[in-house]
């Protein structure tokens, strides 16, 4: 069968959050796909926290998932920055009100397994049938007119493109890089060199809401090279210790139960919330905590011929800002928009046509990458202080300059406003009036597009961004002078 006769099919490697979101989007776009997941089920062994940002809610609305997701979502209407050493409060903020005013939605948190379960159960049966478990990918092949993916059980999946959504230790990325360099694909037992760097590790667990604690609060306890976090939801809470390791590393580390016990013993005296110590919070847990490395970094090249990467396979963000899954969703949106546009005029595209789409996808997504990475890194370091300036910012500048508000309004808001949506699906729930209008909106089905539609904004908004940035710098300078007077 020639390339012009082959139906288009995407082979998606990895069955996590980003891949399941892609399953919904590809189903709506009419793009055939198969998902290969190495584990026996789609749910993680230990449940962790997931943040959902306003642009992701826009896409959930387009996919018709808002009502289904509502029961697993939790409002956080108070953020508390405090000392992990004694529980004293530095500053407080109600971020939910600001996000809703700016962007139409607040930030919500969910128990990751519950969110995954809803993503899976709301797929049509035809899409569920395309998800194949216990498929450990060992090799990939790329030809002029298609691809094939070999699994450890001997099965082979064929298609038109390979999408690597298989996480930090991506096998697709390892194979792609070898093929691009003209080298033999290494044996799967041979670990690949990580492109990411670990500076922090996190001990985390799920607990009932501690007695006496309000719900809907995010407590972040700061200290030297360690921080704590307690987020209370409607019926459960999430607890964490973030510890800076002695020396940043790219090596993959497998932690033991003894490692977990040592961290809890070392830092159990710290406060998770005013009046609540870490050891007492973890004592409420039914089961054992998890311990993971928090990698940070990005991959320079995301594509080669008929292979393209997304999600944690191309970037890893420290989780304090909660941008990891949301960034992966944007990857899917941008790629799906471009693929759908191509397939409407060319149902069996050539390798050259796909390479052009993948190159544009990478270029578009990289525009805001440095800002997103910087936001995530900054959040981690303003709680687990790696420098004196981190401490100054948290204890003195932020509480006395309204810095958190200015950061949300003039740094985060412009980035959020530029996040695209699915071009062709109706959006029903976004308020008409927003303090920070979005740049991209869907268009009616059948409209021909070269680029996603843009709704014009007044030039005064761009001026307000510049003015706000200048104001932010001025506030930081004022705060620093305030600190010097105190000391």
For the segment 255-268, the average pLDDT, to the nearest whole number, is 97
The strand pair at 217-224 and 78-83 is best described as parallel
**Domains, the chain:** 9-180+297-477 (3.50.50.60), 197-296 (3.30.9.30)
Looking at residue 486, what is its pLDDT?
40
Give yes or no for a contact between 159 and 9, defined as CB atoms under 8 angstroms apart. yes
Residue pLDDT, tens place only, 444-475:
665 555 555 554 333 333 333 333 444 444 44
Give yes or no for a contact between 124 and 115, defined as CB atoms under 8 angstroms apart. no
**Which candidate, 474, 479, 478, places its Cα nearest to that of 396?**
479
Looking at residue 444, what is its pLDDT?
65
Looking at residue 134, what is its pLDDT?
97
- The structure tokens 């890893």 sit at 316
Give yes or no for a contact between 262 and 123, defined as CB atoms under 8 angstroms apart. no
- The dihedral through the CA atoms of 465, 471, 475, 477 has a sign that is positive
Looking at residue 317, what is its pLDDT?
95
Q: How many Å apart are CA 221 and CA 369, to the nearest integer? A: 27
Give yes or no for a contact between 279 and 259, defined as CB atoms under 8 angstroms apart. no
Give yes or no for a contact between 245 and 259, defined as CB atoms under 8 angstroms apart. no
Give yes or no for a contact between 230 and 219, defined as CB atoms under 8 angstroms apart. yes
**Which candidate, 135, 113, 337, 363, places its Cα nearest to that of 238?**
113
- The structure tokens 């920070």 sit at 436
* 151-155, 288-292, 406-410: least confident range: 406-410
Higher-pLDDT residue of 446 and 394 is 394
Residue pLDDT, tens place only, 348-378:
999 999 999 999 999 999 998 888 999 899 8
pLDDT for 8 beyond 50: yes
When pLDDT is cut at 50, 70 and 90, the band that residue 192 belongs to is confident
* 104-113, 144-153, 213-222, 407-416: least confident range: 407-416
Looking at residue 451, what is its pLDDT?
53
Q: How many Å apart are CA 169 and CA 313, to the nearest integer? A: 7
Higher-pLDDT residue of 287 and 164 is 164
Looking at residue 485, what is its pLDDT?
41
**Which candidate, 111, 108, 109, places its Cα nearest to that of 47?**
111
Q: Quick one: what percent of the chain has pLDDT higher than 70? A: 89
* 1-5, 190-194, 212-216, 301-305: least confident range: 1-5
Looking at residue 400, what is its pLDDT?
85
> For residues 352-368, b (16+ Cβ closer than 10 Å) or e, as one string?
eebbebbeebbebbeeb
Looking at residue 321, what is its pLDDT?
86
For the segment 77-101, the average pLDDT, to the nearest whole number, is 94
Higher-pLDDT residue of 273 and 393 is 273
**Residue 25 carries which DSSP code?**
H
Looking at residue 338, what is its pLDDT?
98
pTM exceeds cut of 0.85: yes
Q: How many Å apart are CA 443 and CA 202, to the nearest integer? A: 43
* 119-128, 229-238, 282-291, 339-348: least confident range: 282-291
pLDDT for 303 beyond 70: yes
For the segment 67-79, the average pLDDT, to the nearest whole number, is 96
For the segment 206-229, the average pLDDT, to the nearest whole number, is 97
Q: Quick one: what percent of the chain has pLDDT higher than 90? A: 78
Give yes or no for a contact between 361 and 308, defined as CB atoms under 8 angstroms apart. yes
Q: How many Å apart are CA 357 and CA 283, to the nearest integer? A: 51
**92, 98, 103, 108 alpha-carbon torsion, rounded to 10°:** 40
pLDDT for 145 beyond 80: yes
For the segment 116-124, the average pLDDT, to the nearest whole number, is 97
**In angstroms, what CA-CA distances link 25 with 31, 233, 337?**
9, 29, 10
**405, 410, 412, 416 alpha-carbon torsion, rounded to 10°:** 130
* 57-71, 118-132, 342-356, 389-403: least confident range: 389-403
What percent helix, strand, coil does the chain show, rounded to 5?
A: 40, 25, 35
- The structure tokens 């390791």 sit at 245
Looking at residue 4, what is its pLDDT?
52
Looking at residue 43, what is its pLDDT?
82
For the segment 223-231, the average pLDDT, to the nearest whole number, is 97
pLDDT for 484 beyond 50: no
Report the chain's mean pLDDT, rounded to a whole number.
90
Looking at residue 46, what is its pLDDT?
66
């Amino acid at each position: 069968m020639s390339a012009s006769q082959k139906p288009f099919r995407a082979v998606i490697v990895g069955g996590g959050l980003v891949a399941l979101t892609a399953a919904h989007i590809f189903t709506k776009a009419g793009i055939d796909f198969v998902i290969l997941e190495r584990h026996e089920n789609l749910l993680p062994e230990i449940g962790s926290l997931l943040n959902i940002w306003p642009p992701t809610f826009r896409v959930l609305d387009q996919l018709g998932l808002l009502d289904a997701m509502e029961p697993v979502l939790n409002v956080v209407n108070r953020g508390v920055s405090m000392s992990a050493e004694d529980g004293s409060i530095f500053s407080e903020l109600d971020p939910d009100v600001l996000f809703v005013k700016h962007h139409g939605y607040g930030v919500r948190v969910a128990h990751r397994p519950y969110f995954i379960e809803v993503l899976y159960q709301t797929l049509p049966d035809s899409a569920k049938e395309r998800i194949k478990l216990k498929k450990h990918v060992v090799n990939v092949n790329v030809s002029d007119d298609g691809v094939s993916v070999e699994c450890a059980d001997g099965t082979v999946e064929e298609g038109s493109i390979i999408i690597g959504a298989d996480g930090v230790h991506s096998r697709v990325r390892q194979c792609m890089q070898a093929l691009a360099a003209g080298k033999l694909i290494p044996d799967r037992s041979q670990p690949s060199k990580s492109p990411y760097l670990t500076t922090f590790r996190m001990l985390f667990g799920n607990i009932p809401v501690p007695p006496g604690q309000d719900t809907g609060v995010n407590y972040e306890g700061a200290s030297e090279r360690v921080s704590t976090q307690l987020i209370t939801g409607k019926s459960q809470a999430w607890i964490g210790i973030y510890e800076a390791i002695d020396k940043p590393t790219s090596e993959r580390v497998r932690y033991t139960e003894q490692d977990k016990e040592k961290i809890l013993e070392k830092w159990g005296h710290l406060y998770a919330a005013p009046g609540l110590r870490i050891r007492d919070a973890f004592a409420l847990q039914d089961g054992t905590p998890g311990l993971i490395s928090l990698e940070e970094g990005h991959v320079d090249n995301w594509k080669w011929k008929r292979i393209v990467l997304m999600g944690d396979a191309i970037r890893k963000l420290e989780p304090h800002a909660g941008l990891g899954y949301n960034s992966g969703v944007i990857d899917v949106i941008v790629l799906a928009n471009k693929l759908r546009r191509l397939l409407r005029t060319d149902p069996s595209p050539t390798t050259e046509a796909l390479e052009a789409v993948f190159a544009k996808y990478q270029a578009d997504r990289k525009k805001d990458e440095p800002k997103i990475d910087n936001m995530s890194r900054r959040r981690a370091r303003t709680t687990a202080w790696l420098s004196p300036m981190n401490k100054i910012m948290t204890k003195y500048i932020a509480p006395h300059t309204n810095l958190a508000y200015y950061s949300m309004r003039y740094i985060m808001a412009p980035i959020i406003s530029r996040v695209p949506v699915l071009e062709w699906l109706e959006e029903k729930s976004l308020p008409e009036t927003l303090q920070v209008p979005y740049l991209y909106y869907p268009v009616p089905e059948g409209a021909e597009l070269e680029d996603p539609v843009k709704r014009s904004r007044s030039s005064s908004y761009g001026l307000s961004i510049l003015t706000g940035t200048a104001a932010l710098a001025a506030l930081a300078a004022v705060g620093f002078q305030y600190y010097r007077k105190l000391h």
